[in-house]
Structure 1
Amino acid sequence: MSKFDAIRPFYDSEVNEAVVSSLNHPMMKAIMNFAYPGIAEEVWQEQLKRTHSIRDFQINFAYNALKKVLEKSSDGLSTSGFENLEPNTSYLFISNHRDIILDTSLLNVSLYDHGLLMTASAIGDNLVQKDFLLKLSKLNRNFLIQRGLSPRELLMSSKLVSEFMYQLLAKENRSVWVAQKEGRTKDGNDATHQGVLKMIAMASDEKNCMDYFKKLRIVPVSISYEYDPTDALKMPQLLAEARDEVYKKEKNEDFVNLMSGIVGQKKRIHIHVGKILNEELESIKNECDNSNKQIQALAQVIDDSILQSYKLWPTNFIAYDILYNTDKFSSHYTSKERQVFERRLELRIDADHKEMVESFLTMYANPVVNKLKYTDATF
C-alpha cells in the first residue's frame, strides 16, 4: 500500500482493468460516440482494450475528445508563452480556474502540442463521487483534493497532497496543475489564495520556503473564455454570497456545471503560460523577513502575472461599458458583438432582477477592472 493510494491517479499497471471495466458504461459510450462519430462501437472498444498506460489513454482518446469539444463548442484555442518552457522538464502550474474540467484538460492539449510534459492535476473529490467519473479522472492523471474534512483531517490531507505534489515534481519529473484557490472563480475576479501556497509548502525541508518554491519551478497560467457557458449557472451562488447567505448546492449541480462547461458554447479561448518565477522568489526572500509576508508577496506576484497576461475579449469590454454606463472601450468591439452579448444577457437573466443582471455583467467586466490597476497594461 502506498501512502498516496487515497488520492493518487492510476498506476499504469491498473489502467487496462479500469478501461475494460468501463467499456459498456453509458457515459463512456456517449464520450466515444462524441469523439469518434460514425465509428462502430466494437472498433473503439477494441482500441480501448489495448490501452495499458495513462499516456496511451490521454493521447489516443482524451486528446481527440478534447479536439472535438473545441471543434463543436468553440471558435478555437490560442496560446502564448509556451516557447519559454523546456521539454522533459516538470513545472508547477498555478492557474486561474474558470471551468471544472477544461482548464487543465486544454492546458494538457497545449503542452502536448508543444512537445512538453503533460500534468497531473488536482481535482476536488466532490466532483468525482460517481464511480465512472472517479475512474475517468484517475485515467486522466487527476489526484484528489479531499473536501468536507474536519480541521485536523484537513491538516493531514493537505500535508499528504503537498508530499504527493513534491513526489511528482521532484522525483517523477511530472508537471503538476493546481488552481490558485479552492473552487472556480465565479465573479471574474481571479486571486491567489495564500492557503493554497501554504499547503504546497508543507512538504518543504528548506529553511526558507522561497528556496523550496524555486525547486518546484512555478509557472503562473491564465486561461480566458470569450463566453463562459456556465455564466448563468454561477449567478445563484454569487447572489447568495452578496447577501451574506449560506449557499446550498442542488443535488446534481456540480455535474450539470461540468457537462455545461464541456458542451456549452465558449467562442474563443486563450491560454497564456507565464515565465518561471525565479528572480521574483529571490527578491521576496531578500525583502520579506518572515514566511507569512513571503507567502503574501508570492500570491501577489502570481496574481500580477495572471491578471496582466489575461486575454480580454469583446465580451469583457462590452460588459464593462454597460455596467459603468460608458463607451470607454467601444473601439474594442463591434455593434454586432454588443447585440449578441445583450441578447445572451436577455435570454439568460431576468431583466427585472437587477442584482442578477449586475452580477452577470460584473463577472465579465472584472478582468478589465483588474487590468486597469496596472499602469503598463495594454488594451
Structure 2
Amino acid sequence: MDQFHDIRPYNDEEVVEVLHNLVETPDFINTIIGFRFAKWPTFLRAPLVFGVKFALKRQIAKISNVHDFQSIVANYMERMIKTTTSNVEYRGIEKLDKGTGYLFLSNHRDIAMDPAFVNYGLYLAGLNTVRIAIGDNLLRRPFVSDLMRLNKSFIVKRSANGIREMMAAFGQLSSYITHSLVKDQCNIWIAQKEGRAKDGLDQTDPAIIKMFFMSQKKEKKPFSEAMANLKVVPVSISYEYDPCAFDKARELHQKSTTGAYEKAEFEDIDSIKNGIVGQKGKVVVTFGDVIADGFETPEEFVAEVDRQIITNYAIHSTNEAALALQQGGSSTDSAFSSYLERCPDNLRETVLAMYANPLKQQQKYLNK
C-alpha cells in the first residue's frame, strides 16, 4: 500500500491521465482564458475555449512523464526570467553533489517563485530537481493541486483539525521527507516557516525542525544524528524588487491598525500570478553549507539555519536605499525612488521596513 498516496507528487505512470483530465476541466480552461485573454470580448468565449483546449492537447501529446512536464515548465521559466528579471545569480550551487538528496530549507518571499528559482538552478546545473512542500491552503481548486503535484509538489496538511489529526499529518509528512531524502535520494524544498516573511524578517520555526525529527525519533535516533542524515542546506533567496510588496504591506498595515486581516477566497492564487508576472529586478539564490552533526536540540539547529540564511542573504541597492530613507537620509537609487512613488502613502513606511529589515537583520549578525 502507498502510505503517501494522498500527499506525494504524481508518478510517471499517472502523468498522462492527469493531463487529459486537466484539459477537460472547465475551471482550468477558464482560468487560462482569464489570465491570457482577460480583455477579449465575452462573445469570443466559446472559440477561445476551443482554441485553448486544442493548443493544450497538442502540447500534452509530447508529455509522458514528470521529466517531460518539467522540461515544459523550464521553457516557461526561461521566458519569465527574460521578461521579469534583470539577472538571476546562483551562489554555492557548485558545492552540491549529484546523486545526493538534500533538504533545502529556504527563506520564503514568494509562493511559487522561491522553489521555482531553486529548481531552475538545479536543473541548469544538471542536478535533480526538488520535491516541493506546498500547503493545502493553496490547493482549494483541484486543478491547482494537479498542476503542483505534476511539478513534484507534495502536500502539507495545514488544515488538519484537532491535535490527533495534526500529529498524524505531521508524522506522515516527516516520514515522507525522510523517505524521499534517505531512501529515494531525492531533493526536497521547504520554507523555514509557514507563510511568507512579509516583513522581510527571516526566522525559522522550531516546529518545522521538530517535524523533520519525528520519523527518526520513533527509531530512537539521537537528534543530532537524525538531522545530519537529512543533509539540510539553508537557502537564501533575495529579490531586488518584490512583485507582491504593496499587497503584503496592505495586509501588514491592516493587521496593525485593525488587529485582523481576512483574505479573499482566491487571494493566494492572485499572489502566485503576480509573483510570476511582476518585475523582480536581480534575483540571487545562495545555497549554504550542509548542516553536519553536532547540534543537540531543535533550538541550536534553528540558530544555525537562521545564521546561514541571514548572513548569506544577497543585499541589493533597494535594501540599502530603504534603510537610508528609514534613518532620515536620502536614496541614491533613483529606480527605487520611482518605485516608491507608486506606493500608497499609508503603506510607505511598511514597504520601507520590508526592504530594510534583511539588511538590518544581517548587520546584527555581522556585528556580534
TM-score (norm 2): 0.89
**Hey, what's the Cα distance between the residues in 1 that align with 2:36 and 2:97?**
33
> Are 2:168 and 1:156 aligned?
yes
The equivalent residue for 2:328 is 325
Which of 186, 194, 201 pairs up with 2:213? 201
Q: CA RMSD in A?
A: 2.2
Q: Could you list the per-position Cα deviations for residues 54-84 of structure 1 after superposition, in whole angstroms to 9, with x for gaps in the alignment?
A: 112102x111111111111111211110110
The equivalent residue for 2:225 is 211
CA 1:31–1:277: 2 relative to 1, 3 Å:
farther
The equivalent residue for 1:358 is 349
The equivalent residue for 2:261 is 247
- Cα pair 2:8 2:154 within 8 Å, conserved: yes
The equivalent residue for 1:236 is 250
- Cα pair 1:23 1:29 within 8 Å, conserved: no
CA 1:31–1:14: 2 relative to 1, 3 Å:
farther
CA 1:241–1:43: 2 relative to 1, 3 Å:
closer
Deviation of 1:340 (Å) = 2.4
TM-score (norm 1): 0.86
The equivalent residue for 2:304 is 301
Letter of the 1:174 partner, please give it.
C
**Hey, what's the Cα distance between the residues in 1 that align with 2:249 and 2:366?**
31
> Equivalent residue of 2:365, what SS?
coil
Which of 344, 351, 355 pairs up with 2:339? 344
Deviation of 1:9 (Å) = 1.0
- Cα pair 1:22 1:28 within 8 Å, conserved: no
**Hey, what's the Cα distance between the residues in 2 that align with 1:3 and 1:29?**
37
**Hey, what's the Cα distance between the residues in 1 that align with 2:32 and 2:182?**
34
Which of 130, 136, 141 pairs up with 1:125? 136
5+ residue gaps, structure 2 = 38-51
> Are 2:23 and 1:23 aligned?
yes
Which region of structure 1 is more displaced relative to structure 2, 82-91 or 239-248?
A: 239-248
- Cα pair 2:134 2:156 within 8 Å, conserved: yes
**Hey, what's the Cα distance between the residues in 2 that align with 1:174 and 1:339?**
44
Q: Could you list the per-position Cα deviations for residues 274-322 of structure 1 after superposition, in whole angstroms to 9, with x for gaps in the alignment?
A: 11111xx32x23xxxxxxxx11111010011011110111110010000
**Hey, what's the Cα distance between the residues in 1 that align with 2:261 and 2:157?**
20
- Cα pair 1:221 1:274 within 8 Å, conserved: yes
- Cα pair 1:20 1:49 within 8 Å, conserved: no
**Hey, what's the Cα distance between the residues in 2 that align with 1:70 and 1:29?**
22
- Cα pair 1:31 1:65 within 8 Å, conserved: no
CA 1:105–1:209: 2 relative to 1, 3 Å:
same
The equivalent residue for 1:367 is 358
CA 1:165–1:202: 2 relative to 1, 3 Å:
same
- Cα pair 2:174 2:214 within 8 Å, conserved: yes
**Hey, what's the Cα distance between the residues in 2 that align with 1:247 and 1:93?**
31
Deviation of 1:133 (Å) = 0.8
Deviation of 1:96 (Å) = 0.2
Letter of the 2:155 partner, please give it.
L
Deviation of 1:46 (Å) = 3.1
Which of 52, 72, 75 pairs up with 1:64? 75
> Equivalent residue of 1:90, what SS?
coil
**Hey, what's the Cα distance between the residues in 2 that align with 1:149 and 1:260?**
28
> Are 2:119 and 1:108 aligned?
yes
Letter of the 1:129 partner, please give it.
R
Letter of the 1:95 partner, please give it.
S
Which region of structure 1 is more displaced relative to structure 2, 49-58 or 132-141?
A: 49-58
**Hey, what's the Cα distance between the residues in 1 that align with 2:367 and 2:81?**
33
Letter of the 1:16 partner, please give it.
V
- Cα pair 2:23 2:56 within 8 Å, conserved: no
> Equivalent residue of 2:366, what SS?
coil
> Equivalent residue of 2:89, what SS?
strand
The equivalent residue for 1:265 is 279
Letter of the 1:361 partner, please give it.
L
> Equivalent residue of 1:22, what SS?
helix
**Hey, what's the Cα distance between the residues in 1 that align with 2:339 and 2:261?**
25
**Hey, what's the Cα distance between the residues in 2 that align with 1:135 and 1:157?**
20
- Cα pair 1:222 1:272 within 8 Å, conserved: yes
**Hey, what's the Cα distance between the residues in 2 that align with 1:157 and 1:348?**
41
5+ residue gaps, structure 1 = 34-39, 286-293
- Cα pair 1:19 1:49 within 8 Å, conserved: no
Letter of the 2:272 partner, please give it.
L
Letter of the 2:167 partner, please give it.
L
Letter of the 1:366 partner, please give it.
N
- Cα pair 2:180 2:186 within 8 Å, conserved: yes
Deviation of 1:208 (Å) = 1.3
> Are 2:110 and 1:99 aligned?
yes
The equivalent residue for 1:256 is 270
Deviation of 1:30 (Å) = 8.3
The equivalent residue for 2:317 is 314
- Cα pair 1:222 1:273 within 8 Å, conserved: yes
Deviation of 1:88 (Å) = 1.3
CA 1:81–1:32: 2 relative to 1, 3 Å:
farther
The equivalent residue for 1:288 is none
